[in-house]
Amino acid sequence: MVTGWSEKLRRNGFGWGLVLPALVFLALFTYYPMLKSAVLSLYEKNLATSEPVFVGLGNYANLLKDSVFLKVFSNNIWFAVGTVPTSLLLAFVMALFADKAIKGRGLARLSFFYPNMIPMIAVANIWLFLYTPHFGLFARLAAWITQQPVNLLGSPDTVMGALMIMMVWKEAGYFMIFYLAGMQQIPKDLYEAAAVNGIGALTVIRKITIPLTMPTTLFVAVVAITNAFKLVDHLWIMTKGGPNNASNLLLYYIYDTTFNFYDQGMAAAMTVVMIALLLIISSLQFFGWDRKIHYE
Amino acid sequence: MKLERVLSVIGEGDLAVRTRLKKERSAMLKPSSLVLLLLVCMLTIVGCGQAGNGKGNSTGGNATQAPASAEASQTPAAAKPVEITFYYPVNVGGPLTKVIDGMAKTFMDQNPGIKVNPVYTGNYGDNTVKIQAGVQAKQPPDVAVMMSTELFSMLDMNAIIPLDDFIAKDSDIYMADFYPAFMEDTQTEGKTYSLPFQRSTIVMYYNKEMFKAAGLDPEKPPASWEELVSYAKQLNRDGHAGLEIPGNDDSYWMFQMLARQNAADPKQNIMSSDGKKAIFNTPENVEALQFWLDLSHKYKAMPEGVIDWATVPTDFIEGKTAMMMHTSGNLTNVKNNAKFEFGVAFPSGQKQYGSPTGGGNLYIFKDTTPEKQAAAWEFAKFMTAPEQAALFSSSSGYVGVRKSAYETETMKKYTADFPQALVARDQLQFAFKELSTHNHGKVSTAITNQIQAALAGQIDATGALKKAQEEADQALAPFNK
């Protein structure tokens, strides 16, 4: 028994030792706060209660009654629906182009990728200007189309669309990089065989490129969906979630609930909901779909 | 700093592991190397622990504490200065940090027994978050500038102390010298909890050249709502708007102004003075909100929809609007950047003039020692003394918080060159306190959201205020038990 134990330790100890620093950090700054949030979500802790009161699942029940929470949740779903497929499609097309373009390939890749190099806060400031009524480029474009002054960020009907376009612009280049890598791994002889048989370019894309980049698509889709929930920096700069919560997203509402409303119990309950949601989405990658996807 | 230290520890750890790897490549891993590995990991944990502790405290505070204690050990008999941490936000950017740090330095020169560590904490929002984190970690700053509207939240968090004892004992504070409009929000239920410091109010800016072009007298800004409408309609031409009132962020501030102007009661406000009741849904308030909506929809003198707080001054400076209602805190910005002659006036009245005050006060915190609180009081008193108030007002554009500040040389010179700065001061007789209640975040968000919905045309004025009232009542219910 003793020899078995030391044998195991000898084999695995060094490996564990190497993992340990990372694990310690993850535990301290990720797992422990998650656990703490889960515990806190069972308490009522806000300005009206000087000492936290245990309420069981009361906070979660209140969430279902909180119209703003339901609003931001559905906003977030629409935000994901609006940004993910579009940016994936755009990334795919851009990658096709960047993969094939004969001259200036490097330049094409760089120009597609560059929005991703700008910090989100800077992007938000630039786009805030583009959307500013009277002198913003897009505001003028919209005013020219509708023949009347348009306040893109100030109207509940247009604010989400405006933010989605910005997000697609920011994200597509990043996803293109993954597609580009995926496409370059496809064996060239497949394309040569197709060319010999005189098969059209569209069919080649449909029958070869798309199926063989499916693993990339799955990975990128997961990243994109989680990003739709995680990236809210622009809200601070552009709308503060307004007008009347029309552009509010889940993470921003959690922040507001914690630091503006000081309602920590409710904020913790929302955090738990969000973590659960993100875990489910990312577990699709690891457990579910990837087995059904064709690998080379 | 802390993080770097932790990282360097990790770096060293990695290095140790790597050298070990080289040395013992042939040999099997021995227990001694395992111990070493564990040690490295322990080190990282210790590093983290320290970083965690440092978080609640100010970074500046920690860094300077070490040398101070070293000095003290060398000269044990000499009086060790009382060290206090001072958090302050700057909402108007840039050079003001220098002014405040300079004021702190002057204070330390005059009071060698007190050492102040000023910590710039970002804008008001970031500042409040940092203070809140400090309060929860039982390591609050000793003194801080915070929104006047945070009073009830800070009381509910049991974070601040009343200043009445200090005021009673101190013979040279002259509380009567502070403008009453600024004192309103420092007090509740007979106690004073803060000193006014960085204060503002809403004023009306107007472009004199556009007035001339429209055939209006540039020395006669609109004094009543009726005039405001007719002026704005006349000025709404040549591709620029007649008037802009910002509607996002804290739109309740602008709403408070209109509501007071439309009220018969000279003491009207949209909440009770004990902060336990919101008074949003009244016929007068509905009229006030309706007037705001009419400016765009009926009179077509203002752009429709929610106008962004930050773009309004830019619009004014760029000549996209002839008039704007905005904070007096923008005086310096407009003065430095407008390439035309501009005037500043009281926002037009209806039944009376009216403009809410805003901005930050100096609060002193619990969970420190009485010595530190006494030192914090000395500092707060110094920062609001006439000379300092004058210096701060003239270099920022904020309103001087006390009457005697305007009699100092600094201020006389400033207002002689820039008489517009006096308008905000003169208006203080019509000024009153900003919306401040228990559960302030939720109450103010309730009204702000409904105003935005009304401006965006989703709901009418009556419905908006009814809904805001319901939401606010719900948020305040636990405080009315």
Residue-wise pLDDT tens digits, B413-440? 999 999 999 999 999 999 999 999 999 9
Report pLDDT for A107. 83
Q: Which residues contact B365 (CB under 8 A, 6 or more apart)?
A: B135, B140, B141, B142, B143, B144, B159, B160, B161, B373, B376
* Chain A contact set for B156 (CB, 8 A): 47-48, 50, 262
User: By percentage, how much of chain B surpasses pLDDT 70?
Assistant: 83
Fold designation for B78-199+359-431:
D-Maltodextrin-Binding Protein; domain 2 (3.40.190)
> pLDDT at position A293, please?
60
B456 CB near a chain A CB, below 8 Å?
yes
The answer, yes or no, to whether residue B24 has pLDDT greater than 60, is no
Residue B189, phi-psi category: left (phi > 0), alpha (psi -120 to 50), beta (remainder): left
Residues in contact with B338: Cβ distance below 8 Å, sequence separation at least 6, in sequence order: B207, B316, B317
Structure tokens at A260: 């503006």
- What is the pLDDT at residue B46? 44
The residues in B 182-241 lying below 8 A from A, measured between CB atoms, are none
User: Distance between CA atoms of B43 and B56, rounded to whole angstroms?
Assistant: 21
A186 neighbors A194 (Cβ within 8 angstroms): no
Pair B201, B424: CB distance under 8 Å: yes
> Which tokens belong to A97?
């182009």
Cross-chain Cβ contact B37/A20 below 8 Å: yes
What's the token pair of residue B418? Answer: 């820039």
The length of chain B is: 481
pLDDT for position A288 = 64
Statement: residue B45 has pLDDT above 80: no
Q: Which residues of A touch B452 (CB under 8 A)?
A: 242-244
d(CA A170, CA B23): 48
Residue A47 Cα, gap to closest chain B Cα (Å): 6
Chain A and chain B share a number of CB contacts under 8 A equal to 121
Q: Is the dihedral of CA A29, A32, A34, A36 positive or negative?
A: negative
Token representation of residue B476: 């305040």
Q: How near does any CA of chain A get to the CA of B227, in Å?
A: 25
Angle ∠(B212,B216,B222) on CA atoms, nearest 5: 125
What's the pLDDT band for B389 if we cut at 50, 70, 90?
A: very high
Could you tell me which of B443, B446, B445, B463 has the C-alpha nearest to residue B454? Answer: B463
Which residue matches tokens 């704007």? Answer: B324
Burial class (CB in 10 A: 0-12, 13-18, 19+), A230: middle
Sign of the C-alpha dihedral, residues B30, B33, B35, B37? negative
- The Cα of A115 is separated from the nearest Cα of chain B by a number of Å equal to 24
CB contact under 8 A, B304 and A133: no
Chain A residues touching B33 at Cβ < 8 A: 14
Is the predicted pLDDT of residue B196 greater than 50, yes or no?
A: yes
A48 touches B at CB < 8 Å: yes
Region for B441 from its dihedrals, namely left if φ exceeds 0, alpha if ψ lies in -120 to 50, beta otherwise? alpha
Q: For residue B449, what is the enclosing H or E element? A: helix B440-455
* Subunit contact B128:A259, Cβ cutoff 8 A: yes
- Given a contact cutoff of 8 angstroms between Cβ atoms, the answer to whether B276 and B480 are in contact is yes
Q: Which of A14, A257, A266 is the mutation pick for testing B, counting most B CBs within 10 A?
A: A14
pLDDT score for B385: 94
Burial class (CB in 10 A: 0-12, 13-18, 19+), B296: buried
Pinpoint the alpha helices (H) of B80-238.
96-110, 124-136, 151-156, 164-169, 180-183, 208-213, 225-235
> Token pair of B61, please?
């505070």
Using a 10 angstrom Cβ sphere, with 0-12 exposed, 13-18 middle and 19 or more buried, the burial of residue A115 is middle
Closest residue to A17, CB basis, from B37, B249, B478: B37
Query: Model confidence at B380, in pLDDT bands (50, 70, 90)?
Result: very high
Mention the CATH class of domain B201-356+436-480. Answer: alpha beta
Distance from CA of B160 to the nearest CA of A (A): 14
Q: Tell me how far apart the terminal alpha carbons of chain B are, to the nearest angstrom.
A: 47
pLDDT of residue A291: 61
**pLDDT at A220 (0 to 100):** 92
* Alpha carbon distance B195, B401 (integer Å): 9
**Fold (CATH) for A62-291:** MetI-like fold (1.10.3720)
Cβ-in-10-Å burial (0-12, 13-18, 19+) of B348 comes to buried
Across the interface, do A154 and B456 touch by the CB < 8 Å criterion?
yes
pLDDT tens series, chain A, 296 aa: 555 777 777 788 888 889 999 999 999 999 999 999 999 999 998 888 878 899 989 999 999 999 999 999 999 999 999 999 999 999 999 998 888 766 777 888 888 888 888 999 999 999 988 998 877 899 889 888 988 878 888 888 899 999 999 999 999 999 999 999 999 888 989 999 998 998 888 899 998 899 889 889 988 999 999 999 998 999 988 888 878 899 999 999 999 999 888 899 999 999 999 999 999 988 877 776 666 665 54
DSSP letter (8 states) at residue B270: S
Q: Which residue of A has its CA nearest to B309?
A: A239
CB B212 within 8 A of CB B343: no
Cis status, amide bond into A243, omega within 30 of 0: yes
| DSSP letter string, A153-203 | TTSTTTHHHHHHHHHHHHHHHHHHHHHHHHHHTS-HHHHHHHHHTT--HHH
3-state helix, strand, coil in chain B (%, to 5): 55, 15, 30
| Partners of residue A242 in chain B, C-beta under 8 Å | 248, 306, 448-449, 452
Residue B76 has pLDDT above 60, yes or no: no
- On the 0-12 / 13-18 / 19+ scale of CB atoms within 10 A, B196 is buried
Q: How far is B199 from chain A (nearest CA, A)?
A: 21
Contact B449 A50 (CB under 8 A): no
User: pLDDT tens digit string along B146-167?
Assistant: 999 999 999 999 999 999 999 9
Residues of chain A neighbouring B314 (CB-CB closer than 8 A):
132
The pair of three-digit structure tokens given for residue A78, joined into one six-digit string: 């629409």
Inspect the interface and report whether the beta carbons of A261 and B10 lie closer than 8 Å. Answer: no
Contact B479 A48 (CB under 8 A): yes
- Using a CB–CB cutoff of 8 Å, tell me whether A158 touches chain B: no
Look at residue A56 and give its three-state secondary structure. coil
Contact check, Cβ <8 Å, A47/B438: yes
Number of H helices, E strands in chain B: 20, 11
* pLDDT surpasses 90 at B110: yes
Query: Widest CA span of chain B, in angstroms?
Result: 96
Enter the pTM of the model.
Answer: 0.80
Residue B347 per-residue DSSP state: P
> Region B92-104: what's the mean pLDDT?
81
Assess whether pLDDT exceeds 90 at residue B12: no
Helical H segments across B298-406, by residue range = 311-317, 331-337, 370-383, 386-396
Which amino acid is located at B333 in the chain? N
Please tell me the least confidently modeled range out of B6-10, B149-153, B245-249, B462-466. B6-10
Delimit the CATH 3.40.190.10 region(s) of chain B.
Answer: 78-199+359-431, 201-356+436-480
Alpha-carbon dihedral angle through residues A212, A213, A217, A218, given to the nearest 10 degrees: 50
Per CB-CB distance under 8 Å, the chain A contacts of B311 are 132-133
Give the model's pLDDT for residue B20: 35
Which pLDDT score, from 0 to 100, does residue B63 have?
38
Distance in angstroms (rounded) separating the CA atoms of residues B365 and B367: 7
Can you tell me the distance from the alpha carbon of A217 to that of A89, in angstroms, rounded to the nearest whole number?
10
pLDDT of residue B13: 36
CB neighbour list of residue A254: distance below 8 Å, 6 or more residues apart: A267, A270, A271, A274
Residue A24 has its nearest CB partner, among B45, B307, B479, at B45
Residue B442 near residue B475 (C-beta atoms within 8 A): yes
Top residue of A46, A75, A261 to mutate, by most chain B CBs within 10 Å, is: A261
Task: Give the B window 3-22 contacts with A, CB below 8 Å.
Answer: 10, 13, 17
Query: Cβ contacts (< 8 Å) between B458 and chain A: which residues?
Result: 156, 244
CA atoms within 13 A on the CB side of A223: 14
Does the beta carbon of A245 lie under 8 angstroms from any beta carbon of chain B? Answer: yes
User: Across chain B, what does the average pLDDT equal?
Assistant: 84
Picking from A25, A44, A129, A134 by the largest number of B CB atoms within 10 A of its own CB, the best residue to mutate is A134
B306 interface with A at CB cutoff 8 Å: yes
CA distance to partner chain A, nearest, from residue B129 (Å): 6
Q: Which residue's structure tokens are 């752009």?
A: B303
CB-based contact B456 A262, cutoff 8 Å = no
Q: Using the structure block, give the residue that is written with the tokens 């120009």.
A: A111
